Chains A and B, each alone.
Chain A
Amino acid sequence: MKTKMDFPAINDRRPEGLKEDGTPYRVLIVDDSMFVTKQIGQILTSEGFEIAGVASDGQEAIDKYKELYPNVDLVTMDITMPKMDGVTALEKIMEFDKNAKVVMISALGKQDLVKKSLLLGAKNYIVKPLDRKKVLERIVMSLKK
């Protein structure tokens, strides 16, 4: 007899990163810090999400989004970045795809920019330092919006 029969799957929860059809949500991570990119990537892949792409400034974010579209479900967007900041990139992405789901990643003390982002159509925001629970909660909530 297969062991599966002996041990009922009591933890048979679908990972947060999978859609109902079992395919992963595809996320574009935008951050100029290699550390933050890696941190978000680790948290998301551990829950079954797929990292569709990574960008390190606003302009690259827009280019990557257009390239990936429509195979991208969510963007995590840093606010302070070189070349083009995250708020401007958000605005351009929303112009391109009004249904885009963008979650802002912010350091503390950027309340005005976070507010502006939410008005421009960002679905949610996460304040650094990032932790697993906070990141997953906000991202899952945004995907359901």
Chain B
Amino acid sequence: MRVEYINPFVESAYNVLKEVLNCQVNRGELYLKSTSTPVLGVAALVGLAGDVEGRILFDMSKETAIKVASVMNGEELKELDDLAKATITELANMITAQAVTKLHDLGFKFDLTPPAIFTGDNMEVTTAEVEALIVPMVIPYGKVEINVAIRERL
């Protein structure tokens, strides 16, 4: 996978997290996975199809998701309820929209699926034939992993 696909997502995740959470965001070390990747507990998945195809996963622990949703709503949420899920979905929407605008400007044309939220324990994601690049973003509430597996359409 080409690194240029992931950079817009990392930049936009950094900007959006910083703006909506109003906190320090630190970028962790990028790593590559060609096999299954564990999912932390709450994952928002957005699919891409067009000149490039694949998916992006915004992955975090349940505790982090609840805290992030609480900050974004300006009230303390106790569990990952419908409002918390809608909040994480919106976060994924905002990050994706900003990144996709950059990729469109670079000349890549593709469509997106609405985010789907997966929750549960001991989950793994496998994207056959496409390596996943993962960039952890560290925030005061834990970490959000930006997990991108995209390839050019053959």
Contact = CB atoms under 8 A, between A and B. Distances in A.
Contacts of B97: 107-110, 128
A36 B20 CA distance: 13
Contacts of B90: 33, 35-36, 128
Interface SS of chain A: helix, strand, loop or mixed?
Answer: loop
Q: How large is the interface on A (under 10, 10 to 19, 20 to 34, 35 or more residues)?
A: 10 to 19
Given A35-B72, A35-B73, A42-B74, A108 B86 contact: no
A129 B94 contact: yes
A33 B90 CA distance: 7
A106 B20 CA distance: 16
A38 interface: yes
A109 B19 contact: no
Interface stretch (B29-37, B49-57, B98-106, B133-141): B98-106
Interface string A99-133: 00000000111100000000000000000110100
Interface of A: 33-36, 38-39, 42, 80, 107-110, 128-129, 131
